[in-house]
Structure 1
Amino acid sequence: MVIGVTMVSVSPGKEKPVYSELKAMKNVRDVYHVFGEFDFVVIIEASSLSELNKTVDTIREIEGVIKTSTVIGAEI
């Protein structure tokens, strides 16, 4: 299991449609609306790093998404 946290910036006025698409995506466990440089924090849980990357790629294709930044969790 791979856990990723992706921060997402969206175009002004696109928050609601992007939020709806994010919530409906496979592998997306939680979506938080935040204030600051990014609009959303998305928690992704995937079976592999490849699957997590595909999920992030799909997020980037959503109309209104401007940029993303992802960190991947690891056990220590």
Structure 2
Amino acid sequence: MRRRVKNLIGNGTIKKFTLELGEENATSAIVLVSVDSATDTSKVSLKLAKLDGVKTVYEITGQYDITTIMSASSIAEINNSIDALRKIPGVVDTNTVIILRKVI
């Protein structure tokens, strides 16, 4: 089994491994992000995607330029990720909502 996995990694079939905790063990948040008009939004998006806890990054239209979906084991960890997000050059404003419950 180990050789097969090594071969799948070697030929690029498997690119990475991730661990996702069950929803009942995670805190999730949606973070809306405004980017300075002099800053390339796509560069900010790439930096956001590398932050701990960031699951998805969308470039959007409207009042905000980017939205991210974050997940962590606690609100404190979400807070740490948001603090790191706000330090990214070009980020000028954020609006965070904690997800209380997934309906569907």
- Which structure is higher in RCO with an 8 Å CA cutoff and minimum separation 6? 1
Q: Percent of aligned pairs with the same residue?
A: 33
Q: Secondary structure at the match of 1:63?
A: coil
Question: Structure 2: which 5+ runs fail to align?
Answer: 1-25
Indicate yes or no: 2:11 matched with 1:11: no
Q: Write 1 or 2 for the structure with the bigger share of strand.
A: 1
TM-score, length-scaled by structure 2: 0.69
Question: Structure 1: which 5+ runs fail to align?
Answer: none
CA-atom RMSD, angstroms? 1.2
Q: Which runs of 4+ in 1 moved over 2 A?
A: none
Count of matched residue positions in the alignment of Structure 1 and Structure 2? 76
For residues 30-58 of structure 1, give each alpha carbon's deviation from its aligned partner in whole angstroms, at most 9, with x where no partner exists. Answer: 00110110001100001100000111111
TM-score, length-scaled by structure 1: 0.94
